[in-house]
C-alpha cells in the first residue's frame, strides 16, 4: 500500500485483530514505529492483546512506556489490556501495579485482576481485590465468581467456596452455570466430600446433559482414589448414559474395582471394553477457565 497514513495502518491492525492474527499485528506495529505513525487507542489495545497471546513482554513494555511518555489516559479498556499483558507474560506484580494505578475500573477490569491472581496462585490477593471491588460499589457478575471459585479450588478452600457459591445466587441473584458447578464439584471431590459433590451434581440442571461429563468424571476419579465402589458405580452409570462408548470411563471403573480387590468385576469391565472395541487409553475430561485447565479425572485411581 503506497502512502499509508495512520488510518490505513490502524485499519490493517483492526482487520488482523478480528482474525486473531497476533503475529502479523506485531509485525505491522513494528513498521508503524519505524514510520513514526501514532497508534490509535484501538491499535494499542490490539497490540497489547497480541503481546498477551504471544508472550511478547518487550513489545508490551514498550507500549506501556509509550503510553506513560505521551500522557495517554489509561481508561478501563486500555488498563485491562495492560493487566492482561503483564499477567500472561508472567509478571503478576506489574499487572497488579497497573491495576492499582487505574482510576477507572469497570467490572471487566476487576474480573481480569481476580482471574489473573487466581491463575498465579495468589488467592488471598484475589479475595482482597474482590473486597475492594465491593467497596467501590461495582456489582460482581458470574465471571467474578468463577474466578473466586477457581481460587478456592486451587487452594482447597471448601468453606470459602461454599460461601461464594451461595453468595452469588442469594445476594446477587446470579444463576450458577455449569462452570461454577464444575469448580465446586472438583473442590468437594478433592476434599473427599463425595456425597456433597454427588448431591450438587444432581441438583444442577446440567446433570443429565453432556456438559456434566467433567463433573461426573471428577466424582468417578475421586471414588477410585478413595476406593468408594458404590459412589464410583453411581458416577459411571451417569457417564455411560451420556456416552455409552466412553473408554476412559470403563478404564477408571475397572481400576476402581481392581483397587478395591473386586478383580472379577474389573475383568468384566475390561471384557465389555473389548466387546465394544474400545481402546484402553486413560483419558481425562477438562474445562478451561480463563487459563485454568481443570483436569477432572484420569485412568489411574488418583486425582491430579
Judge whether 304 lies within some domain.
Answer: yes
Q: Using 70 as the pLDDT threshold, list the residues of the chain that sit under it.
A: 1-5, 279-304
Judge whether 52 lies within some domain.
Answer: yes
pLDDT tens-place string over residues 53-97: 999 999 999 999 999 999 999 999 999 999 999 999 999 999 999
The pLDDT value recorded for residue 36 is 86
The greatest distance separating any two alpha carbons of the chain, rounded to the nearest whole angstrom, comes to 78
**Number of domains forming the structure of the chain:** 2
- Domain containing residue 16: 1-91
Judge whether 216 lies within some domain.
Answer: yes
The pLDDT value recorded for residue 16 is 86
3-state secondary structure of 34: helix
Helix or strand (DSSP H, E) at 21: none
Domain boundary among 91, 121, 154: 91
The pLDDT value recorded for residue 294 is 40
Query: Cell numbers 465471571 label which residue?
Result: 143
Sequence-distant (6+) residues with CB within 8 A of 18 are none
Q: Is 124 exposed, middle or buried (0-12, 13-18, 19+ CB in 10 A)?
A: exposed
How many other CB atoms are found less than 10 A from the CB of residue 72? 14
C-alpha cell at 273: 471394553
Domain boundary among 72, 91, 110: 91
The pLDDT value recorded for residue 20 is 85
| CATH number, domain containing residue 269 | 1.25.40
Alpha-carbon distance of 222 to 229, in angstroms, equals 11
The model's pTM: 0.82
Judge whether 290 lies within some domain.
Answer: yes
Domain boundary among 63, 91, 119: 91
Amino acid at each position: 500500500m503506497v502512502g499509508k497514513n495512520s488510518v490505513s495502518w490502524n485499519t490493517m491492525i483492526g482487520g488482523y485483530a478480528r482474525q486473531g492474527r497476533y503475529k502479523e499485528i506485531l509485525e505491522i506495529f513494528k513498521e508503524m514505529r519505524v514510520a513514526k505513525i501514532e497508534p490509535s487507542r484501538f491499535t494499542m489495545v490490539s497490540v497489547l492483546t497480541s503481546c498477551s497471546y504471544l508472550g511478547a513482554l518487550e513489545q508490551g513494555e514498550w507500549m506501556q512506556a509509550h503510553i506513560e511518555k505521551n500522557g495517554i489516559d489509561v481508561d478501563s479498556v486500555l488498563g485491562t489490556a495492560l493487566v492482561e499483558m503483564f499477567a500472561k507474560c508472567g509478571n503478576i506484580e506489574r499487572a497488579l501495579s497497573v491495576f492499582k494505578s487505574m482510576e477507572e475500573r469497570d467490572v471487566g477490569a476487576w474480573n481480569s485482576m481476580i482471574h489473573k491472581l487466581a491463575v498465579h496462585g495468589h488467592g488471598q490477593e484475589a479475595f482482597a481485590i474482590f473486597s475492594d471491588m465491593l467497596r467501590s460499589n461495582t456489582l460482581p457478575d458470574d465471571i467474578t465468581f468463577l474466578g473466586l471459585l477457581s481460587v478456592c479450588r486451587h487452594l482447597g478452600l471448601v468453606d470459602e467456596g461454599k460461601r461464594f457459591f451461595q453468595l452469588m445466587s442469594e445476594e446477587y441473584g446470579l444463576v450458577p452455570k455449569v462452570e461454577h458447578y464444575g469448580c465446586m464439584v472438583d473442590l468437594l471431590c478433592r476434599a473427599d466430600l463425595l456425597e456433597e459433590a454427588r448431591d450438587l451434581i444432581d441438583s444442577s440442571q446440567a446433570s443429565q446433559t453432556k456438559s456434566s461429563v467433567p463433573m461426573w468424571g471428577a466424582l468417578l476419579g475421586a471414588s477410585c482414589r478413595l476406593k468408594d465402589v458404590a459412589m464410583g458405580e453411581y458416577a459411571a452409570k451417569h457417564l455411560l448414559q451420556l456416552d455409552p462408548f466412553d473408554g476412559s470411563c470403563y478404564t477408571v471403573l475397572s481400576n476402581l474395582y481392581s483397587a478395591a480387590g473386586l478383580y472379577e468385576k474389573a475383568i468384566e469391565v475390561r471384557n465389555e471394553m473389548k466387546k465394544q472395541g474400545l481402546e484402553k487409553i486413560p483419558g481425562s475430561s477438562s474445562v478451561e477457565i480463563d487459563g485454568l485447565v481443570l483436569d477432572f479425572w484420569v485412568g489411574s485411581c488418583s486425582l491430579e
